[in-house]
Amino acid sequence: MSFQPFALPPTSLTALAEAVAAINSTLDLDIVLSKIASLAASVTRAEASSLFLLEPQRNELVVAAATGHWREAMEGRSFPPRLGIPGEVLRTGEPIILVNVQASHKFCKDIDDLGRVRTTSLIAAPLIHRAEAIGVVEVVNRRDEREFTDSDLKLLQVFATLAAGATQNARTHESLKRRFDGLRESVMHQTTMIGQSSVWQQALDLCHRVALSNATVLLLGETGTGKELLARYIHNQSRRSADAFVAVNCAALPETLLESELFGHEKGSFTGAHARRRGWFEVASTGTLFLDEIGEISRAMQAKLLRVLQEKRIVRVGGTETIPCNTRIIAATNRILKNMTIDGVFREDLYYRLSVFPIQLPALRNRREDVPLFVNQFVGKAARECNIHDLVITEETMRLLQEYDWPGNIRELQNVVERSVLMSDGDRLLPEHLPPDIVAAASAPSQDRDPSTLSGQECTLIEKALIEHNWNQSRAAAALGVTRYHLRHRIKKYAIQRPQSPPVLS
């Protein structure tokens, strides 16, 4: 259909110009789509409107925005791309005007039923961008109860053509912003891997092997061993490095809030949900989502996460639309998930979904040769921040730091070094600048493990029970006839550590 837009009445042209100016006043995609729907109804004096966008990957028409009676029922819903009037407009690329909707065989009554309304007349026009239909805008029922006219049809078609450009610009802006945020994140968090020990190099080798794939990675290791740092390293080495890296601490959020954070929510879905919000799965789409402390989430949340990993789709809290997500998952935990599955605390099916490629991070006490490398880096950084020049670490100080077991691993070492630099008052870092417990630990007698003493015998019994019960502390405590709390206290006292074993790929 060809037409001359300047043949429109002056009042319509004014309304059209104001509407287009409003649409182009922002590049926020959600705001642009909402304005297109509301202004389409405004310029045509319609009771309600809907904006359908084609999602090629899903081959569906999604109601991106709606106004009027059926807004609550329509927004976020998806339909087959050939359904009803919108499907016809999308297929032909031509606008449609119907003054007796109920008599048309093309009209889909199911849509009316969703909104509990009765459509009498409508206009639908395609959103054409570079000769390609990207969506449909539809308005229904004039507010003055008259029939739509050819002038209304022309007006909506011009509006739809201009709205298509605004929609595509906002989509492009969102895509570029996501990529920019990802690149900025990568630059700001450039990961320098420190360590020459064989156990650390083995872990890095596994990271290199998995980085270029889309496999789900499970990072295992004690608190403070650098799991988030390694996750960023895998992301930066992957083909997704230009996209977002999002880190979420699952233990830091209550279950209800965690679901909203991960999957997003719709406006009004709960108290305080004043607007639609995209979740981290959407934000990290085409990028990487790092789920730290995954072992702390509830069974109910485990089931929801499993569904997302299986179906590669999410549903926002309070929504019905299924949203595809091309998000790479890296999870981490300091707990032994395999034992948690045996105890029924962690879902076995989710465990196997997450542990496609497990990587065990070594504790710092198992890579003591790397301690001087960390110390030099942390001392240099802390000294610069304190404006201290040429701070020398004495051999005795380094020996004490290297011999300490570091139960808090690299994070604890960094904190100790920063404190010690602040305590130093000259050009040397001396043993007296270290915390007393580190100095005391280096000179403590080893009689606790002497088999000729009672404490040594107790230590041996505890280790034997742990080994026999696959290091399950609850079962070992029951076998020894003590409480789990009592056993944990003895494990800490004797510094009993589970032997490190190489990761098994499955």
Place of tokens 């090629």: 56
Q: Determine contact, residues 288/330, Cβ cutoff 8 Å.
A: yes
- Angstrom distance (rounded) from CA 280 to CA 329: 11
The bridge status of strand 46-55 relative to strand 277-278 is: unpaired
Residues near 492 by beta carbon (within 8 Å), at least 6 away in sequence: none
**What's the confidence (pLDDT) of residue 249?**
94
Q: What is the pLDDT of residues 360-414, one digit of tens each?
A: 999 999 999 999 999 999 999 998 888 888 889 999 999 999 989 898 999 999 9
Q: Determine contact, residues 361/410, Cβ cutoff 8 Å.
A: no
Residues 289-304, mean pLDDT to the nearest whole number: 95
Query: Cα–Cα–Cα angle for 116, 73, 104, nearest 5°?
Result: 55
**What's the confidence (pLDDT) of residue 506?**
41
- Angstrom distance (rounded) from CA 167 to CA 257: 31
**What's the confidence (pLDDT) of residue 267?**
79
Residue 326 — φ and ψ, nearest 5°?
A: -100, 65
CA distances from 75 to 334, 385, 390, 402, 495 (A): 41, 52, 63, 60, 58
Question: Per-residue confidence at 497, pLDDT binned at 50, 70, 90?
Answer: confident
* Cα 410 versus chain centre, distance: 25
Lowest mean pLDDT among 10-14, 32-36, 86-90, 397-401: 10-14
Closest CA to 220 of 245, 203, 240: 203
According to the CATH classification, is domain 364-443 in 1.10.8.60?
Answer: yes
Residues 33-60, mean pLDDT to the nearest whole number: 81
**What's the confidence (pLDDT) of residue 103?**
72
Q: Three-state SS for 175? A: helix
**What's the confidence (pLDDT) of residue 504?**
47
Q: Determine contact, residues 42/19, Cβ cutoff 8 Å.
A: yes
Q: Determine contact, residues 313/69, Cβ cutoff 8 Å.
A: no
Q: Three-state SS for 53? A: strand
- Angstrom distance (rounded) from CA 67 to CA 282: 25
Q: What is the pLDDT of residues 60-90, one digit of tens each?
A: 888 888 887 767 767 777 778 788 888 888 8
CATH code linked to domain 189-360: 3.40.50.300
CATH architecture classification, 5-175: 2-Layer Sandwich (3.30)
Residues near 131 by beta carbon (within 8 Å), at least 6 away in sequence: none
DSSP 218-252: EEE--TTS-HHHHHHHHHHHSTTTTS-EEEEEGGG
- Angstrom distance (rounded) from CA 397 to CA 372: 10
Query: Cα–Cα–Cα angle for 346, 349, 354, nearest 5°?
Result: 80
Question: Per-residue confidence at 427, pLDDT binned at 50, 70, 90?
Answer: confident
Closest CA to 154 of 269, 13, 273: 13
Question: Per-residue confidence at 420, pLDDT binned at 50, 70, 90?
Answer: very high
- Angstrom distance (rounded) from CA 335 to CA 357: 17
% the chain with pLDDT above 70: 85
Residues near 266 by beta carbon (within 8 Å), at least 6 away in sequence: 75, 76, 273, 276, 316, 317, 318, 319
Query: Cα–Cα–Cα angle for 55, 262, 348, nearest 5°?
Result: 105
Closest CA to 409 of 185, 195, 191: 195
pLDDT at 266 over 90: no
Q: What is the DSSP letter of 148?
A: P
Q: What is the pLDDT of residues 439-453, one digit of tens each?
A: 877 655 444 556 666
pLDDT at 332 over 50: yes
* Sequence ranges of the domains in the chain: 5-175, 189-360, 364-443, 447-493
**What's the confidence (pLDDT) of residue 82?**
81
Average per-residue pLDDT in the chain? 83
